């Protein structure tokens, strides 16, 4: 499941933040002077000393910017050259699900196709002990039956502007923390000026580790309603064992609809449907939002991930998996309430395991070391670049500093020690009260004006909150806080006093009024005064904890983030000089376009066929979870054409966040729906291996065949332009 | 808790085998020609090219053999030179608890002192839903009240014989698998000839990675009865958070008694009790059974542990910890039944985390790399040693092979995929039926005649078996089997068929008769015929699985073990040439003597006082687990001298397996009871850091003070010779 944090159950997003988010923070916005304008001798993109592009000959590697797409390269490789109009259409028909997925507009009435696992949080939130849509599936027979997804936000990218020069001007002559602060302030100013209302979302995106800054302007949709979702047992057929594997037999699809003023929206640009779908060898494009990659990190940063970040996160997630598995075994309702979180944890676990394995592969790591050595040698040999030579060592030193504050930073500020949705709400309310008093550009960036609509959507969400589950997660994470920092840490003593972690969790969850979205709204809108007057135990708790959280964040920003940002910018410059623009930036959960083709690979010497058939799912079914088919499929079997293609794999370069991305052909028609990568794609975090890295998608023919024969979902089918 | 596998709940021992046991296998018996007799030029122990001893000047490093103790070194460092008589007494008064701990004889009536956590499995097995001795503690007021511990075996080392020449003769001219097989066969022959009855235990121990073979002859005691155990809440005060930490306030002590012919045994040699105990700076000896260290491993082997073995084991244990934590939260009885296993898992987790952290410390790993480089350079420069130069690369190649078969080997043959006590019994019965038909020297070594008493003790143990808990562990590990090997692995398909792992676990556990020790005895004594006739579902299952387990074991032995053994022997030879006998062999769960002194260290620039007082436990108590004192202590407080020393730390070099070791002074009197090491001791697996590695013990004064004032254990006190 290559989404960012799956559908990002808050508590779990927080738990994962420690590795994923933390790592992303390392490479967050760093200002840069546009390298192409640097006039050093032989430093132009085609200078004689330029290094070979790090992208292998004949590889489909690349998560390309829509405004810097290598159309010529595709033309020479596949005989088709996308035009600007083609690219614009693809951009406008692609959407982002703000909590961590991708999707596509597939009808003029705002119908959006994405994965089941991208809508699963919504499906679970709309369920109750009596009606479990995860188990039964969901289909709105009429428009009236479409139900709003609490907290789901869809973004459509309407404009990209290069603001590199503006950011650079604001940071000229500054270094480290001052430099990082100025970047944040200027970024906030640009975003605020752009975001003229709640219906506009603006993000300044740092590309190439700070080599470029682009302003992404989105149309923001916050009324999104569930239209169709199949049963989990077919949407995630094979469960965790089959996750990130291929061959595969899964209908990981769902449809939601964008509403505006309580009506389905009307949109001119959308993807039509391919009649035939793809066959082996066909050219494929994937347009979606890869969340984060670490291909441009230095060796010191990769080593930190390999030795500290990933192992610690993996152990924490493994333990949580055990806790959730046993909690779910308590009873049907516990299983229902915790099921989606368990899927999220297992998905992350498998993905991060794969990342760690890539980094401990000696040959792979050596190739990274070699590449860095080559670039450093290039820098040291070029008098115009010699000022950048210290950048790698500076970043390495910052990693050592990071290691020292890593436990406190992840546990306290990144909240791995404070799981649970309620706790997250409390922290948001406490910080918002302090931050919103300040001018926009002085706030913590996540409380900038341009971020408020998303904050409100989460805070005011009507998604149900389950006490027993909240206590479980909060108790488990508070126990971890004590374990990681130690029972004698002054902060731990302050937090726990003489209370056991689970006891404290129960007191807080049972005592708080924040379960009611109205109570949260009142506190948010009441501002600092309302918050200071609140006697809610969870608010009091979050207020008591916040100063230490801010302190460790400041420490992180000064000793780690600031240093990494300014030095990453230097390395980014050197890379532009060495490679020109023949490379793409690391993923940033913004729209990218990948090209490739339907193609298998060789596993242990055996060829893997790139397409599976519907027949295969019946062969694989055992009747027992996670290989049990839903009744609808068992009943429909006689009506199905078992030779219909079901899933396929292709050479497109994708990663977590791409879940729900459309696969389109050269006519920009839907031929598939990305939902996974194969096991070799997990190393894609650090580099693309053209021999074995494959994206995995549901075939367009299977989608319509199932909608028709299994689900009789005629309303959905009628909208698709086939 | 520095024991080997704590008290080794079977299922968990199996789970940990994958890293600990597997790793131990790597360095298991490897034959060697006695290096001192090799006459190469300048290769004698005092040759001019000899390298400096790898033991730092002024360090107390070393787990020394009792028959090769550096008495002179102690004399020059501490002014006391142990005599042979002194060493013999210490050897005879020290005992080994066969399942993974150490202990000491402290009275002429066979009273044995060890840790609470070493007797905890017994304490739990003697408990029931109505009487939970883990919670209430146990004290036999009269001899009649002493109760037999199921499966506890105590060994007293009566004789050590060097059999190196004999093993070398048997393997002369052989290589790899043939070489390993011949070693095993000769070892079996030696052990069988030595073990003249069930009351004698004989083990040939491979020392210095195969540089020496010594035959250890033990007196074996299998009737061991529980005398005294305090409440878990004081025996493990501070729980997992305080484990491997210091300062510390814990009474991790228990007493058992050796019986012979249903009477307490009479023994001439035992430790007397020190009147004053130790103060800062005092000389201390620790005599015990360190389980396993990896200080002599090559870089390739260490890298395998760092990148593959430890991370995978840590993830598996983390998940199991989560499962057990939540299982225990189901109810009081579930907590009671699973509690000891959870302690075992948490202890291993913390210990192995520390090991991993040591290996990812760049400075530490670099020191290992440097040491290997120096030795290799020495070998390459010496014509008489040049034949050994390929040994390191051969071992590195074997590690790559190991990586390939690691998943199947650990899951199937090391049984990480088949947890649960019942499953362990079933496998033992199946293998025993096949192995015992063969001549002794052709059997798998663990079924040699000399091993039968221990096998029977485990197999016929009356320890209760809890269905719900068995299903939990078996279901969890079968799920892991499917996850690690994948659902399409032919072995997994054969094992599971169309059944879900938990379903299969329930069927097997509910259907088997092996819960009854009489049924296990009948099957064992009935031999192959009885086994083949058995329709017990668990026996049928184990029989079906065994061929694949044997196959992957053979593969491991041929491609990994054999190569590592023969090449480790070459390196061992080179080391003898380079360092002479100035070094001690890696730990092998056999008796070792360590010297040191009571000494603190500096933590983050602050000095740590090496002694704590009883007062401290009252200051630290919060009333909430794991910082809740038992009622007995709260009630006794007015009677206690709060300035009595409670725990202390010393520079003795210990590791897992040393739990329960006596700390004695130069008069061989008890001054303490080892129960832990500090956090810096965890890296001791790979090397000893004299600056911060500390052993942690209960002070002898606290022991007698608590026995008298808290427990009124006058029977025990009266026996101690004070």
Q: What is the pLDDT of residues A69-86, one digit of tens each?
A: 999 999 999 999 999 999
Please judge whether A353 and B308 are an interchain contact, meaning their C-beta atoms are less than 8 angstroms apart.
no
Chain B residues 245-274 with CB within 8 Å of chain A: 245
Q: Which helix (H) or strand (E) holds A225?
A: strand A224-229
Q: Which helix (H) or strand (E) holds A592?
A: strand A592-597
In angstroms, rounded to a whole number, what is the distance separating the alpha carbons of residues A708 and A647? Answer: 17
CA dihedral sign of residues A479, A485, A487, A489: negative
- pLDDT of A413 strictly over 70: yes
Closest Cα to residue A707, out of A234, A276, A267? A234
Vertex A555: Cα angle to A551 and A557 (nearest 5): 115
Tell me how crowded residue B369 is: count the other CB atoms within 10 A of its CB.
13
User: Is residue B678 very low, low, confident or very high in pLDDT (cuts 50, 70, 90)?
Assistant: very high
Please judge whether B482 and A241 are an interchain contact, meaning their C-beta atoms are less than 8 angstroms apart.
yes
Please judge whether B483 and A240 are an interchain contact, meaning their C-beta atoms are less than 8 angstroms apart.
yes
Poorest-confidence range of A621-630, A672-681, B168-177, B391-400?
B168-177
Phi, psi of A261 (to 5 degrees): 50, 45
User: Is residue A688 very low, low, confident or very high in pLDDT (cuts 50, 70, 90)?
Assistant: very high
Give the chain B residue whose CA is nearest to the CA of A350: B483
- pLDDT of A3 strictly over 70: no
Phi, psi of A670 (to 5 degrees): -65, 125
Task: Using CB atoms, pick whichever of A320, A330, A498 lies closest to residue B624.
Answer: A498
Q: What is the pLDDT of residues A253-265, one digit of tens each?
A: 999 999 999 999 9
Task: Using CB atoms, pick whichever of B318, B326, B487 lies closest to residue A326.
Answer: B326
Measured between CA atoms, how close is A136 to chain B, in angstroms?
A: 21
Chain B residues 342-361 with CB within 8 Å of chain A: 353, 356, 360
What is the per-residue pLDDT for A662?
98
Phi, psi of A294 (to 5 degrees): -125, 35
In angstroms, rounded to a whole number, what is the distance separating the alpha carbons of residues B674 and B699? Answer: 9
Residue range A453-477: mean pLDDT, rounded: 95
In angstroms, rounded to a whole number, what is the distance separating the alpha carbons of residues A606 and B95? Answer: 56
Q: Which residue has the higher pLDDT, A457 or A26?
A: A457
Task: Using CB atoms, pick whichever of B319, B622, B625 lies closest to residue A318.
Answer: B319
Structure tokens at A410: 């992840």
User: Is residue B151 very low, low, confident or very high in pLDDT (cuts 50, 70, 90)?
Assistant: confident
User: Is residue A462 very low, low, confident or very high in pLDDT (cuts 50, 70, 90)?
Assistant: very high
Q: What is the pLDDT of residues A529-571, one digit of tens each?
A: 999 999 999 999 999 999 999 999 999 999 999 999 889 988 9
Measured between CA atoms, how close is B318 to chain A, in angstroms?
A: 5
Helices and strands counted in chain B (H then E): 27, 22
Residue range A387-416: mean pLDDT, rounded: 96
A160-197 burial, b for 16+ CB within 10 Å, e for fewer?
bbebbebbbebbeebebbebbbbbbbbbbbbbbebbee
Helix axes A467-485, A10-17, angle to 10 degrees: 10
User: Is residue A517 very low, low, confident or very high in pLDDT (cuts 50, 70, 90)?
Assistant: very high
Q: What is the pLDDT of residues A642-676, one digit of tens each?
A: 999 999 999 999 999 999 999 999 999 999 999 99
What is the per-residue pLDDT for A2?
64
Task: Using CB atoms, pick whichever of B240, B319, B625 lies closest to residue A319.
Answer: B319
- pLDDT of B39 strictly over 60: no
- pLDDT of B41 strictly over 60: no
Contacts of B241 in chain A (CB under 8 A): 482-483, 486-487
Identify from A624, A625, A627 which residue to disrupt to test chain B contact, counting B C-beta atoms within 10 A and taking the largest count: A624
Tell me how crowded residue A528 is: count the other CB atoms within 10 A of its CB.
14
What is the per-residue pLDDT for A46?
37
Closest Cα to residue B574, out of B27, B43, B41? B43
What is the per-residue pLDDT for B24?
27
- pLDDT of B298 strictly over 60: yes
Tell me how crowded residue A464 is: count the other CB atoms within 10 A of its CB.
13
Measured between CA atoms, how close is B237 to chain A, in angstroms?
A: 13
In angstroms, rounded to a whole number, what is the distance separating the alpha carbons of residues A390 and B439? Answer: 68
What is the per-residue pLDDT for A1?
65
**Cα B554 to the center of its chain, rounded Å:** 25
Contacts of A241 in chain B (CB under 8 A): 482-483, 486-487
Please judge whether B327 and A323 are an interchain contact, meaning their C-beta atoms are less than 8 angstroms apart.
no
Contacts of B308 in chain A (CB under 8 A): 360
Please judge whether B319 and A324 are an interchain contact, meaning their C-beta atoms are less than 8 angstroms apart.
no
Contacts of B248 in chain A (CB under 8 A): none
What is the per-residue pLDDT for B25?
28
What is the per-residue pLDDT for B49?
52
Contacts of A486 in chain B (CB under 8 A): 241, 245
**Cα A63 to the center of its chain, rounded Å:** 14
Please judge whether B318 and A323 are an interchain contact, meaning their C-beta atoms are less than 8 angstroms apart.
no
Give the chain B residue whose CA is nearest to the CA of A305: B360
Query: Taking a C-beta distance cutoff of 8 angstroms, is the pair B147, B122 a contact?
Result: no
Number of inter-chain CB pairs under 8 A, A vs B:
96
* Percent above pLDDT 90 for chain A: 84
Residue range B131-155: mean pLDDT, rounded: 96
What is the per-residue pLDDT for B288?
98
- pLDDT of A29 strictly over 80: no
- pLDDT of B409 strictly over 60: yes
- pLDDT of A10 strictly over 60: no
- pLDDT of A39 strictly over 60: no
What is the per-residue pLDDT for A13?
35
Residue range A285-295: mean pLDDT, rounded: 96
What is the per-residue pLDDT for B329?
95
Distances (CA, A) of A277 to A375, A721, B141: 43, 14, 82
What is the per-residue pLDDT for A577?
83
Residue range B312-336: mean pLDDT, rounded: 97
Please judge whether A242 and B487 are an interchain contact, meaning their C-beta atoms are less than 8 angstroms apart.
yes
Tell me how crowded residue A468 is: count the other CB atoms within 10 A of its CB.
14
Poorest-confidence range of A176-180, A271-275, B210-214?
A176-180
User: Is residue B577 very low, low, confident or very high in pLDDT (cuts 50, 70, 90)?
Assistant: confident
DSSP per residue, A508-523: HHHH-STTSHHHHHHH
Asked if the C-beta of A15 comes within 8 angstroms of chain B's C-beta atoms, the answer is no
Task: State the average pLDDT for chain B.
Answer: 91
Poorest-confidence range of A29-33, B128-132, B629-633?
A29-33
List, in order, residues 6 or more apart from B356 with CB less than 8 Å away.
A311, B306, B310, B311, B314
What is the per-residue pLDDT for A40?
33
Q: What is the pLDDT of residues A137-181, one digit of tens each?
A: 999 999 999 999 998 999 999 999 999 999 999 998 888 888 888
In angstroms, rounded to a whole number, what is the distance separating the alpha carbons of residues B385 and B441? Answer: 33
- pLDDT of A17 strictly over 70: no
Measured between CA atoms, how close is B609 to chain A, in angstroms?
A: 16
Phi, psi of B127 (to 5 degrees): -85, 165
What is the per-residue pLDDT for A470?
98
Residue range A304-319: mean pLDDT, rounded: 97
Please judge whether B624 and A500 are an interchain contact, meaning their C-beta atoms are less than 8 angstroms apart.
yes
Please judge whether B482 and A326 are an interchain contact, meaning their C-beta atoms are less than 8 angstroms apart.
no
What is the per-residue pLDDT for B37?
30
Measured between CA atoms, how close is B291 to chain A, in angstroms?
A: 25
């Amino acid at each position: 499941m290559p989404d960012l944090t799956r559908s990002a159950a808050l508590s779990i997003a927080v738990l994962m933040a420690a590795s994923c988010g933390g790592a992303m923070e390392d490479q967050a916005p760093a200002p840069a002077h546009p390298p192409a304008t640097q006039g050093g001798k032989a430093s132009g993109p085609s200078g004689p000393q330029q290094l070979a592009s790090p992208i292998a000959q004949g590889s489909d590697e690349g998560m390309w910017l829509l405004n810097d797409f290598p159309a010529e390269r595709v033309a020479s490789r596949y005989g088709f050259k996308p035009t600007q109009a083609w690219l614009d259409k693809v951009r406008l028909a692609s959407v982002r699900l703000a909590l961590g997925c991708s999707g596509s507009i597939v009808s003029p009435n705002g119908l959006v196709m994405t994965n089941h696992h991208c809508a699963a949080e919504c499906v679970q939130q709309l369920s109750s002990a009596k009606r479990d849509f995860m188990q039964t599936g969901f289909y709105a027979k009429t428009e009236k039956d479409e139900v709003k997804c609490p907290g789901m936000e869809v973004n459509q990218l309407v404009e990209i502007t290069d603001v590199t020069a503006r950011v650079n001007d604001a940071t000229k002559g500054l270094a480290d923390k001052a430099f990082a602060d100025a970047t944040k302030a200027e970024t906030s100013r640009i975003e605020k000026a752009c975001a003229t209302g709640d219906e506009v979302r603006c993000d300044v995106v740092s590309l190439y580790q700070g080599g470029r800054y682009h302003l992404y302007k989105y149309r923001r949709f916050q009324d999104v309603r569930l239209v169709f979702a199949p049963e989990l047992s077919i949407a995630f057929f094979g469960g965790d064992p089959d996750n990130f594997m291929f061959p595969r037999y899964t209908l990981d699809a769902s449809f939601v609809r964008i509403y505006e003023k309580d009506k389905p929206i009307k949109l001119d640009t959308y993807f039509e449907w391919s009649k035939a779908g793809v066959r082996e060898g066909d050219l494929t494009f994937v347009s979606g939002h890869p969340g984060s990659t670490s291909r441009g990190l230095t060796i010191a940063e990769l080593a930190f991930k390999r030795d500290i970040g990933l192992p610690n996160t993996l152990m924490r997630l493994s333990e949580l998996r055990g806790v959730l598995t046993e909690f779910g075994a308590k009873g049907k309702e516990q299983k229902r309430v915790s099921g989606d979180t368990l899927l999220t944890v297992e998905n992350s676990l498998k993905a991060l395991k794969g990342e760690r394995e890539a980094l401990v592969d000696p040959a792979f790591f050596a190739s990274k070391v070699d590449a860095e050595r080559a670039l450093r040698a290039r820098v040291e040999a070029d008098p115009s670049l010699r000022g950048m030579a210290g950048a790698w060592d500076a970043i390495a030193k910052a990693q050592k500093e990071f290691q020292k504050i890593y436990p406190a930073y992840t546990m306290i500020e990144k909240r791995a020690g404070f799981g649970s949705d309620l706790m997250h709400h409390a922290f948001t309310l406490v910080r918002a009260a302090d931050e919103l008093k300040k001018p926009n550009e002085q706030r913590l960036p996540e409380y900038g004006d341009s971020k408020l609509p998303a904050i409100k959507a989460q805070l005011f969400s009507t998604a149900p909150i389950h006490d027993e589950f909240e206590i479980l997660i909060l108790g488990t994470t508070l126990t971890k806080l004590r374990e990681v920092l130690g029972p004698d840490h002054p902060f731990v003593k302050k937090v726990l006093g003489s209370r056991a972690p689970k006891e404290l969790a129960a007191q807080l969850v049972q005592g708080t009024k924040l379960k009611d979205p109205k109570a949260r709204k009142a506190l948010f809108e009441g501002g600092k005064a309302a918050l200071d007057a609140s006697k809610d135990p969870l608010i009091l708790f979050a207020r008591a904890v916040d100063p230490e959280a801010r302190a460790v964040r400041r420490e992180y920003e000064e000793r780690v983030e600031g240093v990494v940002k300014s030095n990453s910018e230097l390395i980014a410059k050197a890379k532009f000089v060495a490679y020109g623009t023949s490379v793409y930036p690391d993923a940033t959960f913004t729209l990218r376009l990948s090209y490739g083709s339907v193609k298998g690979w060789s596993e242990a010497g055996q060829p893997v066929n790139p397409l599976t058939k519907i027949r295969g799912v019946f062969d694989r079914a055992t009747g027992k979870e996670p290989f049990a088919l839903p009744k609808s499929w068992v009943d429909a079997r006689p009506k199905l054409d078992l030779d219909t293609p079901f899933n396929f794999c292709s050479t497109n370069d994708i990663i977590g966040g791409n879940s729900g991305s459309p696969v389109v052909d050269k006519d920009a028609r839907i031929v598939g729906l990305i939902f996974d990568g194969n096991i070799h794609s997990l190393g894609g975090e650090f580099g693309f291996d053209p021999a074995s890295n494959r994206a995995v998608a549901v075939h367009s023919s299977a989608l319509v065949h199932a909608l028709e024969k299994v689900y009789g979902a005629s309303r959905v089918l009628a909208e698709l332009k086939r």
